[in-house]
Structure 1
């Protein structure tokens, strides 16, 4: 079984099972082969910090939705310790069990937004991070309901980063380019050209229309919203991007 087959079509319950499975690395528990994340997460977190500038302030309320259990939540926790932030974590009980308890951490077990009891924090959260999560919401639930629930949490000046969004339209543009062809050939060790089909539906996958619809919905609700690129050194920057939303 290939790594793609092992981690394809994961659901919330699928991640719960991974979190409770012995013998997996911390990256495999969050649905990635080690080669996709090992040695990269410090760079990923640096890119997150550049976008979520509220993390550089003092005494903020920070929420990570779907933090998983790799290096990223630990890096975020260390920032919160240094800056005096309160850190809220919402994920399955199985995943949260891998993150140590800390006086600055409050854990909200369950699936956001249905579970977790975060309603008391509406309008009071300064930073919301949702990293490499949207693609699973997209196939299991309403991304608009998910977005609306995230927006409702933001305090004035609050920032929401929906990061590491796999955009099939962006992926197609890359693999139709000379750089993409070279990348494909180097990865496969062949001289073949990747097959790319434009103007064809990709069921269950996020595309430009979905990304821009989320931006438009946030703007219509009174928020500033932007599609922003990932740093070039990130492992999937050529086919993933981020959505940054700010409450004025």
Structure 2
């Protein structure tokens, strides 16, 4: 059975996401008319591309059967539930409605744990995780200062020899470079067509968030330098084009020495 540790109330200040975005994702998770792909902030037509994320994560994190996996910002479990089949234990942190939705989707998952609350304040005791996943989350933070605090918390949760994947970073400079290429222009035309056919996005009626950090080349490199100064290794990895935003996004892989 999925374990639910309810340590969050809707009025609680989030420290791993801008409050407006945190509240928006929590509200979306309560909507019974939305599919889980929409609750994760994507369009329904991205469901197939979303499933392709899994093989990319398994390879980059080098998931093993004995691994203890943590996902921060797990949403309704679109990634964590299937990844739980590849590891010894899988723990997800997010807002309470998302954690409850994940519990309902996988009621019999004995190795799946949901923690509802503030990532920087949750007490995980002495627990350390072999693999830590943060996917499509960092750009919802409010400042560079919050990003570095968030990354430091991830480092503190990582076991010796472990891996951390800061995934799906929407680097504006990378997006600009890719958009100027022939392949990028083709992807953009296809994207615009699909968005037009979709008509609307699940978050269109929710408040816009103007308090978000801008991720660019300088910040990506600063994150890597920050990690290396703390004794870890950091590598910049591309995403396959067939992922939801593959051409314009990239990942940072962090490895801890034993």
TM superposition shift of 1:207:
0.5
Q: Verify: 1:130 aligned to 2:134, yes or no.
A: yes
Q: Verify: 1:148 aligned to 2:152, yes or no.
A: yes
Structure 1 partner of 2:101: 98
Secondary structure in structure 2 of the residue aligned to 1:233: coil
The question of whether the paired residues in 2 share the 8 Å contact of 1:138 and 1:206 is answered with no
Q: In structure 2, do the counterparts of structure 1 residues 207 and 91 end up closer, same or farther at CA, with 3 Å as the change threshold?
A: same
Kindly indicate whether structure 1 or structure 2 has the higher relative contact order, using CA contacts under 8 Å at least 6 residues apart: 2
The question of whether the paired residues in 2 share the 8 Å contact of 1:144 and 1:214 is answered with yes
Secondary structure in structure 2 of the residue aligned to 1:228: strand
Q: Verify: 1:165 aligned to 2:172, yes or no.
A: no
Q: In structure 2, do the counterparts of structure 1 residues 187 and 93 end up closer, same or farther at CA, with 3 Å as the change threshold?
A: closer
Q: Verify: 1:19 aligned to 2:22, yes or no.
A: no
Structure 1 partner of 2:183: 179
Once residues 117 and 218 of structure 2 are traced to their aligned partners in structure 1, the CA distance between those partners, rounded to angstroms, is 29
TM superposition shift of 1:138:
4.4
Once residues 44 and 159 of structure 2 are traced to their aligned partners in structure 1, the CA distance between those partners, rounded to angstroms, is 36
Superposed counterparts of 1:27-176, under 5 Å = 27-36=37-46, 38-53=47-62, 55-56=63-64, 58-69=65-76, 71-80=78-87, 85-100=88-103, 101=107, 102-114=109-121, 116-121=122-127, 124-139=128-143, 142-176=146-180
Once residues 99 and 145 of structure 2 are traced to their aligned partners in structure 1, the CA distance between those partners, rounded to angstroms, is 22
TM-score by length of 1: 0.81
TM superposition shift of 1:182:
3.6
Q: Unmatched 5+ residue regions in structure 1?
A: 1-8, 190-202
Matched residues, number: 217
The question of whether the paired residues in 1 share the 8 Å contact of 2:239 and 2:251 is answered with yes
Q: In structure 2, do the counterparts of structure 1 residues 28 and 90 end up closer, same or farther at CA, with 3 Å as the change threshold?
A: same
Over the residues paired in the alignment, what is the CA RMSD in angstroms? 2.1
Once residues 82 and 42 of structure 2 are traced to their aligned partners in structure 1, the CA distance between those partners, rounded to angstroms, is 18
